[in-house]
Structure 1
Amino acid sequence: MADALLSASLQLLFDRLASPEFINFLGRHYLSDELLRKLKRKLLVVHKVLHDAEVKQFSDPLVKEWLVHVKDAVYDAEDLLDEIATDALRSKIEAADSQTGGPHRAWNKFSAWVKAPSATLSMESRVKEMIARLESIAQEKVGLGLKEGGGEKLSPSLGSISQPK
């Protein structure tokens, strides 16, 4: 059950990471493509051992605890991507509003001025922290004897999960 929920959450993350809106937002806010690829790779490693961990959690309490850490990290990554998506939508609305001379124009300029450099650094550092956290979790799989492979595989684009044939 946890495997299916985590797989679904990971699928959602891969879909968001592959969306043009997300990629465009990251590009405009100086978050590199390499940072995005690194995050995808770390999520992929965790995803590849989920099936084995799901089976072993019943006989190994350490694996069960590891799955709790994985779930927390995945949900935190979802929250981070939700926040990035919200910022992307806000930027899009602010851009449209400023082009039409909408009523919030003065506020938008002030808002952009206040959050400009510090928000970008903060977001970049938070993405890097998430990558480091996922890296740590992924490295623990070796000590737990977890093997890659199992139920679901990602397509080469990392954008969708399909059942093996």
Structure 2
Amino acid sequence: MAAELVAGALLSASLQVLFERLASEEIPQPFKGKKATLVLPDELNTMLLSANVLLSDAEEKQLGNEEVRKWLFKLQYVIYEADDLVDTIDYEALRSKLEDESSSGTSKVLMNFIPTLMFTAFDDTVKQDGTEILRKLKILIDQKDVLGLREGVQSKPSQRPPAPLEEFGVFGREADKEVIVDLLLSNDVSDNKISVIPIVGMGGIGKTTLAQLVYDNDRIQKHFELKAYVTVSDEFDIFKITKTIFRGISSEIIDIENLFELRRKLKEALRGKKFLFVHDDVWNENYHLWDALKSSFESGASGSKIILATRNENVA
């Protein structure tokens, strides 16, 4: 029962953090003027508030009601998805801002044109993911009468003034970024050929933003011969992850549906090369699955690194 109560407390904390992030959200320049994207934070905030007022009653009833407990777990997962979406928008806002500051004159015209093209696809992805999250939240909220959940008094989201992005230094983790970059550039791998660097913490602390900023760092780009970024989430599909990594490091077009053959191709592509792989939003802690995945990396050069961004300390 204690574990269930802790889960409820963590869910409340995650919601509070997400409310604050939505209140201080900075919309990237290419998004401005696009109504569907601009209203997304407000729609998401409204839906989350509707879920929040049910949380107190649900936390009490979960101890004797299995269906309510399942409802809470589903809500927790959707909140994590919303947090990841805000992470993605945050990263694009920061990248766009830095890109704009580093360009000038004629080059600025070109730089402004290229990101706009990139954002067309990105904007579609944000709208698609945001719409799916809103749909899931609506389904959960609509179940309140069936589950007998009552609206209760909740602590109001923080009313402190939104802080500018620079105040936090990527949500207060600029120092963490430098530490991780230094670890990635270090050749101290002890007895292991490949080092694993975890980024652990609850939703809302900017793990995805941090991982992406590290991945895009100029020194990191030059240091590693091969790089791939994979969002894992709750579905740990070895075949899908392996294929995503292979596509990230190779220009070869493959049509392989056999895992053994795919792993052989990946080992061949990695042979003797120093690589960096980022596994973001990792949930699964099944060590057998991890061992099976990591065995495909053994042909890489010494000094290769893997970043694991996760909410689960057991994964790290």
Q: For 2:161 and 2:9, locate their aligned partners in 1 and report how far apart those are by CA, in whole Å.
A: 17
- Any idea what SS the aligned residue of 1:153 has? coil
Partner of 1:28: 32
Between stretches 23-32 and 126-135, larger displacement belongs to: 23-32
Instruction: Check conservation: 2:48, 2:137, Cα contact below 8 A.
Output: yes
Answer yes or no: is 1:120 the counterpart of 2:123. yes
Instruction: Check conservation: 2:20, 2:158, Cα contact below 8 A.
Output: no
1:132 corresponds, among 124, 135, 152, to 135
In the superposition, the TM-score normalised over structure 2's length comes to 0.44
Partner of 2:186: none
* Letter of the 2:155 counterpart: K
1:87 corresponds, among 61, 69, 92, to 92
**Relative to 1, partners in 2 of residues 1:88 and 1:53: Cα closer, same or farther, differing over 3 Å?**
same
Q: For 1:9 and 1:92, locate their aligned partners in 2 and report how far apart those are by CA, in whole Å.
A: 27
Q: Which has the higher helix share?
A: 1
Partner of 1:149: 152
Instruction: Check conservation: 2:51, 2:141, Cα contact below 8 A.
Output: yes
1:5 corresponds, among 1, 10, 18, to 10
Q: CA RMSD in A?
A: 3.0
1:18 corresponds, among 15, 23, 33, to 23
Instruction: Check conservation: 1:17, 1:40, Cα contact below 8 A.
Output: yes
In the TM superposition, residue 76 of structure 1 has moved relative to its aligned partner by 0.8
In the TM superposition, residue 53 of structure 1 has moved relative to its aligned partner by 0.7
In the TM superposition, residue 143 of structure 1 has moved relative to its aligned partner by 0.9
Q: Deviations over 1:38-74 (max 9, x none)?
A: 2111100111111111111111100011111011001
Q: How does 1:36-75 map to 2 (within 5 A)?
A: 36-75=41-80
| Residues matched between the structures, number | 155
- Any idea what SS the aligned residue of 1:67 has? helix
**Relative to 1, partners in 2 of residues 1:155 and 1:78: Cα closer, same or farther, differing over 3 Å?**
closer
- Any idea what SS the aligned residue of 2:130 has? helix
Q: For 1:158 and 1:111, locate their aligned partners in 2 and report how far apart those are by CA, in whole Å.
A: 36
Q: Deviations over 1:115-144 (max 9, x none)?
A: 131211221221121111111111112210
**Which sections of structure 2, spanning at least 5 residues, go unmatched?**
1-5, 163-316
In the superposition, the TM-score normalised over structure 1's length comes to 0.79
**Relative to 1, partners in 2 of residues 1:142 and 1:156: Cα closer, same or farther, differing over 3 Å?**
farther
Larger Rg belongs to = 2
Partner of 1:163: none
**Relative to 1, partners in 2 of residues 1:47 and 1:33: Cα closer, same or farther, differing over 3 Å?**
same
Q: For 1:90 and 1:29, locate their aligned partners in 2 and report how far apart those are by CA, in whole Å.
A: 19
Q: For 2:71 and 2:148, locate their aligned partners in 1 and report how far apart those are by CA, in whole Å.
A: 12
**Relative to 1, partners in 2 of residues 1:54 and 1:159: Cα closer, same or farther, differing over 3 Å?**
farther
Q: For 1:28 and 1:47, locate their aligned partners in 2 and report how far apart those are by CA, in whole Å.
A: 29
In the TM superposition, residue 109 of structure 1 has moved relative to its aligned partner by 5.8
* Letter of the 1:97 counterpart: S
Instruction: Check conservation: 2:37, 2:126, Cα contact below 8 A.
Output: no
* Letter of the 2:14 counterpart: S
Instruction: Check conservation: 2:32, 2:38, Cα contact below 8 A.
Output: no
